[in-house]
């Protein structure tokens, strides 16, 4: 009842519509039926996939109430209109007043469960064309050479002005059969929701940051995003840089399959393209992978059909300006499969972002790592600084502004929750997946360090969406290129850590990788 009174008090607007009563003979006549359908569609669009109808309420929001027979007829009319639009309808509340009944009905677009979902993380040096390449892929439109398509990802004003990404940004497009579904305006939430609905397969991009001082943000995107493929951009005018090597090393350490895009080939002559491609080939071979030049659709099929395809790194020549190579990259993403995810395990999602949405409340977002979650579930949130978990309720689940009933492993989602105090690095999970770990044992490899690493060394560890100072506890020491087993302790608080998780540690120019071998729960 409180919800109905609040919606009525807020007044008509947005995705909320007031109806005192609906009559079949009046409102299902040809003219009124079309008018009601247009109105319902508009409410659903304004609500990003969900419209609300208060029945038994006058235009001013006063709760009048109507008889049982009148309410049943009114809801039948709404159901008929919803069926015309292929929408679902559900009566969420029905309250009896002195004058009769008032009801709250929700009209929603159908859920998108069952669609394939591929997550691609971009990487590479700053200004190597990552965002422009992704922008042209999701819009199907060429760039103007000055970053016109990039702005569809770098949505913060200062990023657009400077032409540099400062945080993770996201893009999406889809496929219906073999047809590519692009976005005319990727900043339009309702268009994104519509594209998700029409797609058999959805491709989500996590566009990371290429500026070296923001390496920790790039690591967060590649580790916490649970990406299926890493798309490494190499600029044809500049070639391989130190950041290029670092990003490739991070992806390989996490066992992420890699695809190389040689970008901006329109800016250089053929000899320069050959030279830069050879440089990329040498880099791939140096890390123990097999480069495979993709020049036709048959090459795409060959790469994906190989039994040892994990060892292959496809190389594409691309230009966001001339659209060269984007058809082949598009074909690759259409045919590529997601990495295996343990969907039968209890639900777990590491939180990457926490924000508020008007009319929805607090939302946490991330990639579902294991299991599945659905609206109405009660899950655990934590651990907090004391190692405790809170019970929270899942109010709703959304994927790229499209409300869904449930989400499974490997999908990027936003979850509206009730209760708890979420922070980045915490998890939403089932009771079986909850743990609070302050210390753990790990196998580590030092990639770069000027002297030697010994007991007391305190780098920042990046594990899933966790970024935390961590102390090494060890009897011996390690130098660059060496591997060993150490005990590690989070400096400030416990986190959810499990055996087998891979991580990156860094401190200044010093970097290394590791794998958790034994969590030590408190």
- Secondary-structure breakdown of the chain: helix, strand, coil percentages, each rounded to the nearest 5: 30, 35, 35
Residue length of the chain: 522
pTM listed for this prediction: 0.67
437-521 has the same fold as 2-108: no
The region, left, alpha or beta by phi > 0 then psi within -120 to 50, assigned to residue 182 is beta
| CB 423, CB 461: distance < 8 Å | no
| CB 250, CB 240: distance < 8 Å | no
- Bridge partners (DSSP) of residue 117 are 202
Quick count: other Cβ atoms within 10 Å of Cβ 327? Answer: 13
What integer pLDDT is reported at residue 342 of this predicted model? 60
What integer pLDDT is reported at residue 236 of this predicted model? 94
What integer pLDDT is reported at residue 42 of this predicted model? 83
Homologous superfamily (CATH) for 437-521: Translation factors (2.40.30.10)
CA 177 and chain centroid, separation: 22
C-alpha to C-alpha distance for 492 and 458, rounded to whole angstroms: 12
What integer pLDDT is reported at residue 147 of this predicted model? 66
What integer pLDDT is reported at residue 9 of this predicted model? 55
From 260, 258, 278, 268, select the one nearest 321 (Cα to Cα): 268
From 316, 309, 269, select the one nearest 136 (Cα to Cα): 316
Q: Please give the full DSSP string across 161-187, using - where no structure is assigned.
A: HHT---S-EEEEEEEETTEEE--S-TT
CB half-sphere exposure, 275, CA atoms < 13 A: 9
Q: State whether CATH 2.20.28 applies to domain 2-108.
A: no
CATH number for the domain running over 116-335: 3.40.50.300
Q: Is 58 exposed, middle or buried (0-12, 13-18, 19+ CB in 10 A)?
A: middle
| CB 274, CB 264: distance < 8 Å | no
CB half-sphere exposure, 220, CA atoms < 13 A: 21
With a CB cutoff of 8 Å and minimum separation 6, the contacts of 305 are none
pLDDT in tens, the chain (522 residues): 555 665 555 555 678 888 999 999 888 988 889 889 888 888 887 776 778 888 988 887 788 889 989 999 999 999 899 888 878 787 877 888 887 889 888 888 765 455 688 989 888 888 888 888 999 999 999 987 776 766 655 444 434 444 444 446 778 899 988 899 998 887 777 788 778 878 889 998 887 764 444 455 666 666 666 789 999 999 999 999 988 888 888 888 778 899 999 999 999 998 999 999 999 999 999 888 999 999 999 999 889 888 677 889 999 999 999 999 999 999 999 999 887 766 678 999 999 989 887 767 899 999 899 999 988 899 999 999 999 999 999 998 988 777 787 888 888 889 999 889 999 999 999 999 999 999 999 999 998 888 999 999 999 999 999 999 999 999 999 998 899 999 999 999 999 999 999 999 988 777 889 999 999 987
C-alpha to C-alpha distance for 243 and 233, rounded to whole angstroms: 11
What integer pLDDT is reported at residue 157 of this predicted model? 45
CATH number for the domain running over 348-433: 2.40.30.10
Domain assignments of the chain as residue spans, ordered by start: 2-108, 116-335, 348-433, 437-521
What integer pLDDT is reported at residue 255 of this predicted model? 84
Q: Please give the full DSSP string across 265-320, using - where no structure is assigned.
A: GGGS-HHHHHHHHHHHHHHHHHTT-EEEE--SHHHHHHHHH-TTGGGEEEEEE--T
User: Is the previous residue joined to 383 through a cis bond, with omega within 30 degrees of 0?
Assistant: yes
């Amino acid at each position: 009842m409180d919800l109905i009174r609040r919606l009525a008090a807020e007044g008509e607007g947005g995705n909320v519509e007031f109806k005192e009563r609906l009559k079949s003979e009046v409102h299902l006549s040809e003219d009124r039926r079309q008018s009601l359908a247009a109105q319902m569609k508009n409410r659903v669009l304004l609500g990003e996939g969900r419209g609300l109808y208060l029945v038994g309420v006058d235009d001013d929001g006063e709760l009048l109430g109507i008889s049982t027979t009148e309410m049943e007829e009114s809801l039948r009319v709404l159901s008929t209109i919803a069926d015309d639009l292929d929408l679902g309808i559900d009566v969420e509340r029905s309250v009896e007043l002195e004058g009769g009944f008032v009801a709250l009905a929700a009209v929603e677009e159908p859920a998108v469960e069952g669609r394939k979902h591929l997550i691609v993380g971009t990487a590479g040096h700053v200004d190597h064309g990552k965002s422009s390449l992704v922008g042209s892929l999701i819009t199907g439109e060429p760039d103007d050479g000055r970053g016109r398509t990039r702005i569809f990802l770098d949505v913060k004003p200062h990023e657009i002005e400077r032409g540099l990404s400062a945080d993770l940004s996201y893009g999406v497009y889809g496929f219906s059969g073999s047809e590519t579904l692009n976005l005319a305006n990727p900043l339009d939430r309702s268009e994104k929701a519509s594209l998700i609905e029409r797609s058999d397969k959805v491709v989500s991009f996590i566009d990371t940051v290429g500026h070296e001082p923001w390496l920790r943000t790039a690591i967060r995107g590649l580790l916490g995003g649970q990406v299926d493929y890493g798309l490494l951009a190499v600029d044809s005018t500049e070639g391989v840089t130190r950041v290029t090597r670092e990003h490739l090393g991070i992806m390989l350490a996490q066992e992420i399959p890699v695809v190389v895009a040689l970008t901006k080939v329109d800016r250089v002559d053929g000899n320069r393209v050959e030279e830069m491609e050879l440089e990329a080939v040498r880099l791939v071979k140096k890390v123990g992978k097999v480069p495979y030049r993709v020049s036709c659709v048959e090459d795409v099929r060959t790469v994906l059909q190989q039994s040892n395809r994990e060892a292959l790194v496809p190389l594409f020549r691309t230009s966001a300006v001339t659209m060269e190579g984007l058809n082949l990259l598009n074909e690759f993403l259409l045919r590529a499969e997601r990495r295996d995810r343990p969907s039968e395990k209890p639900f777990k999602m590491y939180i990457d972002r926490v924000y508020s949405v008007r009319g929805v409340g607090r939302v946490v977002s991330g990639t579902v790592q294991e299991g599945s979650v659905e609206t109405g579930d009660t899950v655990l949130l934590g651990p907090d600084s004391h190692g405790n978990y809170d019970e929270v309720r899942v109010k709703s689940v959304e994927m790229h502004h499209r409300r869904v009933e449930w989400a499974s492993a490997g999908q990027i989602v936003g979850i509206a929750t009730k209760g708890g105090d979420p922070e980045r690095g915490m998890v939403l999970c089932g009771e079986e997946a909850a743990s609070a770990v302050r210390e753990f044992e790990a196998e580590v490899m030092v990639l770069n360090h000027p002297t030697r690493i010994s007991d007391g060394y305190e780098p920042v560890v990046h594990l899933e969406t966790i970024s935390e100072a961590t102390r090494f506890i060890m009897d011996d020491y390690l130098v660059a290129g060496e591997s060993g087993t150490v005990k590690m302790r989070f400096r400030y608080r416990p986190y959810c850590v499990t055996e087998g998780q891979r991580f990156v540690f860094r401190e200044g120019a010093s970097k290394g990788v590791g794998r958790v071998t034994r969590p030590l729960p408190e």
